Amino acid sequence: MYQHMKKKHKMFVRDVYASIAGKPGQSCCCSTDCEDTALKLGYSIDSIKGIPGDANLGLGCGNPIAIASIKKGETVLDLGSGAGFDCFIASREVGEKGNVIGVDMTPGMIRKAKEHASNAGIHNVDFRLGEIENLPVADNAVDVVISNCVVNLSDDKQAVYNEVFRVLKPGGRIAISDILSRYPLPDHVKGDAKLVAGCIGGALSVAELYAIIEKSGFINISVMPKSNSHEIISGWQPGRNIEEYVFSAYILAKKPNSAGKENDIGSKEYFENVANDWDHMRTGFFPDSVRDAAYKASGIQPGQTAADIGAGTGFLTEGLIKRGVNVVAVDQSPAMLNRMREKLRNYDTIEYRIGESVNLPIEDNAVDAAFANMYLHHTESPLDAIKEMIRIIKPGGVLVITDLDKHKFDFLVTEQHDRWMGFDRSDIRSWFEKAGLHQVNVDCIGDTCCSASSATDEKARISIFIATGIKI
């Protein structure tokens, strides 16, 4: 009986997507304005320009390519490739020496994707008819597996991840956008073929997903909810508030290399993976008023030079340059700086530099002020990081740090790869003074940092401090 139900659901899902393949611009999950949908999911306008035909069907719940860190010459596999939208974007990323494989169980989708590739003269993409539980791909053949809102459609997700593990090369990785459940879904939802095909009924909880991925052999597993998940899902089942029960998330994991298991994913790799989506994610963590308080406390003036340490995608830098300040933006993640460079390409008063917390690529006594927002809790040694920031400040210059007060939300360590669970303000004051700063002030900024755990839906509300000190 159970196997019969699984087969019935799979046939229903195939029929739904066959119908979509025959009716361009329609989707079971998303709006019919496919370009607007893609932008909402996290694709840039540049990435969707020139995509052949109607390959963009408006399907998905995120942008897996944004977190895949695809490199030239790699082989990429797209699970449930549809009309080829993500495959064609990935084909640009891998270049002429790379390859992209798209697998879909719907003949109409494969036919449409092949037509698009032929008409556009794209030769590094291979579309194959097949099921994601039994991939038509050789062992150890793929560098990265992507998928956009497809694995939740499978009635045997363990088989899917087992297959993904098989086809990945040692050290290969997954970068998947999918729908997960906040709470256990009732049987009548899981048994509803329409809700399964609508990307809802097949959603796993984070705990279930972790168990499946670990059982397949993956390491470095990370699940990151999209900050605009409510916006993405709210129109799928109007009036049913389904966005309160399921959410869109990015899923990362790695196949161990031949030498065995590596250490857990680090802060640098985490930010490399989320760079293209960080501006969306950041809005759910801390408000814009944090940077306004930092600017005010610094007293920075037009024409002066500031260092933005742990600059990310430009949260602080953007405001500084609009105030007429020259900025040296430093981050350990090339992807984060590239994203900032793309956003702020019309400004010529920014220097972009790759650097680590205890070896900043800035000479001594070079800047009038140094800013670090939500950076200190990612450093291995906060005191050493503070000393290094002081080194680059001119005498009479100011250090401004905005960060989290001490808290108890340990999910931030596992899910967002924080090194420190915030700080006691007394410790911050002591470190500033030990490092030689004067007129030290540490106070509450009046705002809170908010973050929801993908595993438990626990909401973290953490007060934010602002610390300032003058270099003599």
Q: Which residues contact 94 (CB under 8 A, 6 or more apart)?
A: 70, 71, 72, 73, 74, 75, 76, 100, 124
- CATH code assigned at 288: 3.40.50.150
Residue 424's pLDDT is what? Answer: 93
Tell me the sheet residues that pair with 131.
134
User: Domain end: 240, 265, 290, which one?
Assistant: 265
Q: What's the pLDDT at 261?
A: 44
**Average pLDDT per block of 10 residues along the chain, 472 residues long:** 47 58 46 69 80 75 87 96 92 94 93 92 95 96 95 91 96 92 65 56 82 91 77 71 78 78 56 72 76 93 96 93 95 88 91 88 95 92 95 97 89 75 94 95 80 61 93 93
- Predicted TM-score (pTM) of the model is 0.59
User: Strand ranges (DSSP E) for 405-453?
Assistant: 437-452
- Per-residue CA distances from 318 to 293, 295, 440 (Å): 15, 12, 26
Rounded to the nearest 10 degrees, how much is the dihedral formed by the CA atoms of 376, 174, 58, 23? 180
pLDDT reported for residue 383: 94
Last residue of a domain, one of 205, 236, 265: 265
Residue 39 is predicted with a pLDDT of: 81
Quote the pLDDT of residue 142: 97
> What pLDDT, on the 0 to 100 scale, is given for residue 126?
97
Domain span holding position 136? 2-265
In a 13 Å sphere around the CA of 6, the CA atoms on its Cβ side amount to: 8
Same domain, 94 and 125: yes
Pair (137, 223) in one structural domain: yes
* 9/44 same-domain check: yes
Count the domains in the chain. Answer: 2
- Measured CA to CA, the distance from residue 262 to residue 265 in angstroms comes to 9
- Does the residue 413 lie in any domain? yes
Give the Cα separation of 433 and 447 in Å (integer): 25
Residues 258 and 372 in one domain: no
Q: Of 265, 297, 320, at which residue does a domain stop?
A: 265
Q: How far apart are CA 243 and CA 241, in angstroms?
A: 5
| CA 136 to chain CA mean position, Å | 28
Residue 2 has what pLDDT? 39
